Amino acid sequence: DFPPSDSDFHNFDELTEVVDTTVADHPDIAKKYVIGSSYRGRDIMAVKISGNVETDEDEPEVLFTHSQHAREHLTVEMAVYLLGLFTDEYGRDREITDYLNSREIWILPNLNPDGSEYDIVTGSYRHWRKNRQPNPRTSAVGTDMNRNWDYNWGCCGGSSGWPGSQTYRGASPESAPEVRAVADFVRGRIVNGEQQITVAIDWHTYSELILWPYGYTYDETGPGMTPDDYNTHAELGRLMARTNGYTPEQSSDLYITDGTINDWLWGEQRIFNYTFEMYPSSQSGGGFYPPDEVIPRETTRNREAVMHLLDYADCPQRVIGKEA
Ligand code: 0X9
Ligand code: CA
Ligand code: CA
Ligand code: ZN
């Protein structure tokens, strides 16, 4: 489990309990789905939150994915925070009530439960990043899920073909069962030929950044990314960054990656999307392991950014004064 001094963090059983309690207490607006299993058989959960949650209404859908990387435990706390925020404030906070009555929100609170548990099971942190899928003909375990997505997979020197690497891209795109489950879920949100999800955030730590695609190239525009697409990403990214003090930039300004969820969500699904790298800004704030005392402050810090994302879900291009 987590060390006693960090007991406010939720391990996977505790997260599951939060999800189950949340949907039990708010059955009209919150519903749990199990969209697949991890390599070791743990549930990949999705929670839908919306007015009339039982009905698939024709409302823009918003996706939050958390914890692709095992050691980035603060992102699970961000999911716990959002679950509580949306359900507790529905019918109380006017803005949240209006958003939940006009959008359908999907929170996937832990994409990599095997990795999360492996990281904490000894009681001391192991700095684990990847999933826990074995690789044939080597003792090196794990695929970096955020290099395993099926868009320009392994194209550009932004991942490794060596199983021992922290950024091992896997044997083939979607070879990680967790990535495959989430990709199938997102593809499943195509209704009558139209992707229902319009905007998304994939939560990571750390560095306090808001990143937008593409990550595989330094170019701003390219195949499938017009100047309007780029400027929409950039303007909404900057708008959100003004509320939380993170630094907004294109993903590749940090470093080149290939096979990330960001590039796939845009390149294949045309979902406007961001990587949020949460607290701290640098190693001195605790790196991947900040103390649990910071959880309330550093999750609440992203409330207004999330509200902006929900606001623009009906038409992200509105942020640059265009109607799509
Ligand atoms: O490398 C990653 O997958 C992300 N950073 S992390 O430290 N959380 O591992 C960043 C992904 C965003 N894409 C690029 N930076 N190109
Ligand atoms: Ca609804
Ligand atoms: Ca819908
Ligand atoms: Zn990460």
pLDDT in tens, 216-225: 999 999 999 9
Ligand 1 closest atom vs CA 158: 16
| Tokens (6 digits) for 205 | 């730590």
Instruction: Kindly report the pTM of this predicted structure.
Output: 0.99
Whose atoms come closest to the Cα of 100: which ligand?
A: 2
- For ligand 1, atom 3, the nearest C-alpha belongs to 146
Q: Which of 180, 186, 267 has the alpha carbon at shortest distance from 225?
A: 267
- The reported pLDDT for the residue numbered 104 is 99
Any idea how long the chain is? 324
- Whether 151 has a pLDDT exceeding 80, the answer reads yes
**Residue 60, pLDDT score:** 98
200-254: pLDDT as tens digits: 999 999 999 999 999 999 999 999 999 999 999 999 999 999 999 999 999 999 9
CB 315 near ligand 1, within 6 Å = no
State yes or no: ipTM above 0.95.
Answer: yes
Any atom of ligand 1 within 6 Å of the Cβ of 169: no
The 8-class DSSP code of residue 42 comes to -
- Provide the percentage of residues in the chain whose pLDDT is more than 70: 100
Share of the chain above pLDDT 90, in %: 99
Residue 323: the pLDDT is 85
Task: Give the residue, out of 67, 156, 204, 289, with the most ligand 1 atoms within 8 A of its beta carbon, to mutate for a pocket test.
Answer: 204
Q: How many Å lie between the centroid of ligand 1 and the Cα of residue 158?
A: 10
Furthest CA-CA distance within the chain: 57
Instruction: Return the beta strands (E) in the chain as ranges.
Output: 30-37, 43-49, 61-66, 104-108, 190-191, 194-195, 197-205, 209-212, 247-250, 272-278
- pLDDT band of residue 115 (cuts 50, 70, 90) is very high
- What per-residue confidence (pLDDT) applies to 132? 99
For residues 241 and 210, the answer to whether their CB atoms sit within 8 Å is yes
Does residue 64 surpass a pLDDT of 80? yes
For ligand 2, the distance from its centroid to the CA atom of residue 63, given in whole angstroms, is 14
Give the closest ligand to the alpha carbon of residue 57. 3
> 204 CB less than 6 Å from ligand 1?
yes
Ligand 1 pocket, 152 CB below 6 A?
no
Q: Mean pLDDT over residues 13-28, rounded?
A: 99
H or E element that contains 12:
helix 12-25
Q: Which helix (H) or strand (E) holds 299?
A: helix 295-300
- How far is the centre of ligand 3, averaged over its atoms, from the C-alpha of 60 (Å)? 7
User: What is the mean predicted confidence (pLDDT) over 9-32?
Assistant: 99
Report residue 20 as tokens: 């189950």
Measuring from atom 15 of ligand 1, which residue has the nearest CA? 251
Q: Which residues are catalytic?
A: 277
> Residue 48 and residue 59: Cα distance in Å, rounded?
13
Ligand nearest to the CA of 206: 1
The residue-averaged pLDDT of 300-311 equals 99
pLDDT, mean over the chain: 98
pLDDT number for residue 265 = 99
CA dihedral for 243, 249, 250, 251, sign (positive or negative): negative
Taking 80 as the threshold, does the pLDDT of residue 324 lie above it? no
Q: What are phi and psi of 291, to 5 degrees?
A: -65, 155
Q: Tell me the mean pLDDT in the region 295-299.
A: 99
Distance 71 CA to ligand 1 centre (A): 13
